[in-house]
Chain A
């Protein structure tokens, strides 16, 4: 199964519920992910949709092992990374990267853009760092002079491009994009989505794109995973899902998309 990048089986994850913790003894746990099974083929752009609290961000963070699942199995290119320790994960980490929702929070405010992009490269012991930083800036369409700027000196869309540059500079096989356009205005959204489309094509990236916005997902993704309260309610090709949604929750989501051509009665 070399054409599958992620093979996830019966993934379960829970967090302790500190608000209901008794004075003595452990806190009861809330199940976030309730046994998810799916695969991500190489080169696919997978959309993960769901309402808030559906577990989509938790799933994403489990995939790149920012958090450790309780049980089940995550295979990344045939390697079981479910319970791997941080030391063993380190060499693998350059192969799966993440773009965060809020670049103001994910870019260290006291480091320059150049340093932010170069940091991971240096850490992973790559060579020709300056050239790679310049190349990454070129690829996301930012002027090279931006390397000496601080994040707060950029606009929202430019900041998110820096976040993308940092992720692609390592030349990963897989990128997780967690709600990366939801903090941007509509025109920057479109630009960032265009950029992402181009990059996926040029670099042959596999992408998991988490969003609550189906119209964004529809444009970008070839396959969609619909999460509802920690369970997969639908896993279908984009065209099929929009044509014949099977789960009631998906139908609900679809009907919530604003129409490009509204009924005259509404206006």
Chain B
């Protein structure tokens, strides 16, 4: 029989890889001003479109090459991580809080609360999300706060839907009736009985949402609707790189790779955490 007192199992490869990438990225974002080899905004028109270090004609000062204005690609990726991660964290947590609370109320209390919240979610989800975001930014103006608001406003429905279904199936279980038998209040039951059972789902969704927030930020940056035009963003770099992909592929590819691994790591981190910390799956 397994030793149940050992709370943690050896973290799987999935948790190591995804957690490792996110940790590196967080460190890079925090330390970007100090570890960046160049100023991400500094242009040097004589050093434009330098290839990455292993190719012929590379300047060893620019590891990942330069863009058409001679700005260092590596420095811009590092600084771009700051915006991406800030948006991921704040927008992810806010979306999760709002969506999960509404979902719990709808799923557990049912009745009128469920009717109102569910219909609201249905109506909300009928809007095309990207257009909705662009419209919101147009109204709110550009800036990081606007990006975060746009993501929260669009994506809370994802949480509300899933958590509602989960809370609903949990509240049919006898342990909820059992809590009533001993006189636990409705609110107390939601907090101490239902919430621990939907928490694994919430965590998995939260990290998934962080990945989505990174993508949405990149999309808005790509169409130039995030922060000021010359500020380093992954989406902005991809947009620039797209125009010169035949002459300087690295301007497009490197931010794309960073984006890809970040989104992948976020979604895998959630699954990994769920496997690792959920006593039922363990």
Contact = CB atoms under 8 A, between A and B. Distances in A.
Nearest to A170: B182
B196 A64 contact: no
Interface stretch (B25-33, B169-177, B239-247): B169-177
B281 to A, nearest CB: 10
A105 B173 contact: yes
A148 interface: yes
B174 A150 contact: no
A124 B183 contact: yes
Interface in A117-144: 119-120, 123-124
Interface string A140-171: 00000000111011000000000000100010
A190 to B, nearest CB: 24
A256 to B, nearest CB: 28
Contacts of A170: 182
Contact of A66 (B180, B192, B278): B180
A148 B7 CA distance: 11
B254 to A, nearest CB: 43
A266 B164 CA distance: 55
A77 to B, nearest CB: 17
B195 to A, nearest CB: 10
B21 to A, nearest CB: 29
A119 B181 CA distance: 12
Interface stretch (A46-54, A89-97, A204-212): A89-97
B61 interface: no
A90 B183 contact: yes
Contacts of B174: 100-102, 105-106
Contacts of B199: 110
Contacts of A150: 4, 279-280
A120 B197 contact: no
Interface string B177-198: 1111111110010001100110
Interface in A168-207: 170
B181 A153 contact: no
Most chain A C-beta atoms within 10 Å of own C-beta, residue among B173, B174, B185, B199: B174
Given A100-B174, A107-B175, A108-B197, A94 B183 contact: yes
Contacts, number: 70
B2 interface: yes
Interface string B24-61: 00000000000000000000000000000000000000
Contacts of A153: 1-2, 4
Contact of B181 (A97, A101, A148): A97
B5 A109 contact: no
Nearest to B186: A86
Interface string B264-282: 0000000000000011100
Contacts of A66: 177, 180-181
Given A100-B174, A108-B175, A150-B4, A123 B196 contact: no
Nearest to A110: B196
B4 A149 contact: yes
Contacts of B173: 105-106
B49 to A, nearest CB: 56
Contacts of B185: 86
Most chain B C-beta atoms within 10 Å of own C-beta, residue among A110, A148, A170: A110
A98 B181 contact: yes
A109 B193 CA distance: 10
Interface string B90-123: 0000000000000000000000000000000000
A89 B175 contact: no
Contacts of B192: 119
B173 to A, nearest CB: 5
A108 B196 contact: yes
Contacts of A111: 196
A91 B179 CA distance: 14
Contacts of B184: 119, 123
Contacts of B178: 98, 100, 106, 166
A123 B182 contact: yes
B258 to A, nearest CB: 36
A159 B173 CA distance: 15
Most chain A C-beta atoms within 10 Å of own C-beta, residue among B174, B182, B197: B182
A105 B180 CA distance: 14
Given A100-B174, A119-B192, A153-B2, A109 B197 contact: yes
A45 B184 CA distance: 27
Given A100-B174, A105-B174, A106-B174, A94 B197 contact: no
Given A93-B182, A93-B183, 7 more contacts: A86-B183, A86-B185, A102-B174, A105-B175, A110-B199, A120-B182, A170-B182
Interface of B: 1-2, 4-5, 173-175, 177-185, 188, 192-193, 196-197, 199, 278-280
14 contacts: A66-B177, A91-B183, A97-B182, A98-B177, A100-B174, A106-B174, A106-B175, A106-B178, A109-B279, A109-B280, A123-B183, A123-B184, A123-B188, A152-B280
3 nearest A-B pairs in the assembled complex, by CB-CB distance: A106-B174, A120-B182, A93-B183
